[in-house]
Amino acid sequence: MGRLTVTNVSRTFGKKGSASTKALDNVSLEIKNEEFVCFIGPSGCGKTTLLRIIAGLDLPTSGEILLDGIQITVPDPKRGMVFQEYSLFPWRTVIDNVAFGPQMQGIKKKESLKIAEKYLELVGLEQFKNSFPYELSGGMRQRVAIARALATEPQVLLMDEPFGALDAQTRNTLQYELLEIWGKKNVTIMFVTHSMDEAVFLADRIVVMSARPGKIRDIINVDLPRPRDRTAPESNELRNHVLKLLAEERDK
């Protein structure tokens, strides 16, 4: 399972009696099991804040989020997160980085390493299992981060601009690979991006956020067959629609 229900979620930062910033304002959304949803919006509109709340790394000021009917209040292996920065342990080898999550779940080291090998094979890095992060390219390090997030067998994979720091060619390659992984693992994915092309290429639905305080401006169904043609007229039409919505938010 992996059905998320976001109900009237708001998040305000700042201590009582001092200046405060409202990052999210009354956000409500339902995400179906195994759905791929992209979030796009102006900088500072609360996209990352929403992912952190879903991950259990932060709490809403008001409202609630349920995963399969259970309220989220703390981190849990059912929700894996991939950050824009690679966030790997530099002193651990690749396989030890991926095995970290299972070990934290109480799985013995030998079995954790077997699990890690399986997920390194899934992302095509099994031959680099004994390397250290500094020996890998940026794209390879992000593959390791994805393998580490998947190694705990999450129901939901939260991805905060995971390809934002990569060159265009590597980014496109990892988008294809992520879709292959999604198809094999049947996981729900919530993916934050600033790229309209990326959102149209990846998503079942695109959630367009307003400028701060973040609200849901629009939800766009991407009814294009997979694998998608980035240059198809239908893709261009969707990109232009998203671009128009974002331009309207920018000009407010």
pLDDT tens readout for residues 8-25: 999 999 876 567 899 999
pLDDT digit string, tens, across residues 160-184:
999 988 899 999 999 999 999 999 9
What pLDDT score was predicted for residue 17?
A: 59
- CA–CA separation, 189 vs 79, rounded Å? 10
Query: Model confidence at 131, in pLDDT bands (50, 70, 90)?
Result: very high
What pLDDT score was predicted for residue 76?
A: 92
70-71: strand order across its sheet: 21-31, 4-13, 62-67, 70-71
pLDDT digit string, tens, across residues 75-120:
999 999 998 877 899 999 999 999 999 999 999 999 999 999 999 9
What pLDDT score was predicted for residue 165?
A: 83
Q: Is the bond leading into 227 cis (omega within 30 degrees of zero)?
A: yes
- CA–CA separation, 173 vs 150, rounded Å? 19
Among 5-14, 58-67, 187-196, 240-249, the range scoring the smallest mean pLDDT is 240-249
pLDDT digit string, tens, across residues 186-202:
899 999 999 999 999 99
User: What's domain 77-190's superfamily in CATH?
Assistant: P-loop containing nucleotide triphosphate hydrolases (3.40.50.300)
**pTM reported for the whole predicted model:** 0.93
What pLDDT score was predicted for residue 16?
A: 64
Domain ranges of the chain: 1-10+24-32+53-75, 77-190, 203-252
- CA–CA separation, 250 vs 246, rounded Å? 6
Average pLDDT, stretch 110-139? 95
